[in-house]
Structure 1
């Protein structure tokens, strides 16, 4: 590691300085990313349901309704992809381990 096996962080609230071992630091899932993924899912699903409702009112063909229904899978796919990549990011970071150099006595 370029800076050694410890990490020094300064708290902006209490102005104290703490030193942590590199291997004691871990990642968490991103809350803003989860909120964005949820909003994409809700807005996309509502838009798809609205499109299906319009097609039912206008009595469009069954194939058109099927296509719009399949389009409802797009927000589900986006949501699951965002969540999966965030889990992968956290898992990759948390599974990394910095080997400590052994000191020679003598």
Structure 2
């Protein structure tokens, strides 16, 4: 996870990578204050754990979009193939319901990302 703190001198965002999912885990791993270097003004400083925030990552959104697009196209192809060749209504309904799977995968990935960001950004420490 990438967390962000603000530089005390130039107010620029300072990114820090960590494996911690919450502020408590971050404090246990790295201590109450984390020393980091500003990429803009090169000032070394220590930032308190409560001053860090996290943002939504683009990676789960990209993965979810790829799953959604390929799953939807595959579901449409399979649905049309089944509808052309098989005359059983229940099987046709089942094939069309496969279009729900990519939407569910996208929803689950998006919800997990939102839960992760909200869990870190809450003030626990």
Q: How high is the TM-score relative to the length of structure 1?
A: 0.77
Query: What CA distance in whole angstroms lies between the structure 2 residues aligned with 1:90 and 1:60?
Result: 47
Structure 1 partner of 2:81: 54
Pairing 1:44–2:71 present:
yes
Structure 2 partner of 1:73: 100
1:35 pairs with one of 40, 62, 74: 62
Runs of 5+ unmatched residues, structure 2: 1-26
Measured after TM superposition, the shift of residue 18 of structure 1 is 3.8
Offset from partner CA, 1:4-45 (integer Å, 9 cap, x none): 43211235x668234322111011112111100111011101
Between 1 and 2, higher relative CO (CA 8 Å, sep ≥ 6) is seen in 1
Query: What CA distance in whole angstroms lies between the structure 1 residues aligned with 2:109 and 2:52?
Result: 23
Query: What CA distance in whole angstroms lies between the structure 1 residues aligned with 2:89 and 2:75?
Result: 15
Runs of 5+ unmatched residues, structure 1: 99-106
1:1-106 to structure 2, matched below 5 A, reads 1-2=27-28, 3-11=30-38, 16=42, 17-98=44-125
Query: What CA distance in whole angstroms lies between the structure 2 residues aligned with 1:63 and 1:93?
Result: 45
Q: How high is the TM-score relative to the length of structure 2?
A: 0.67
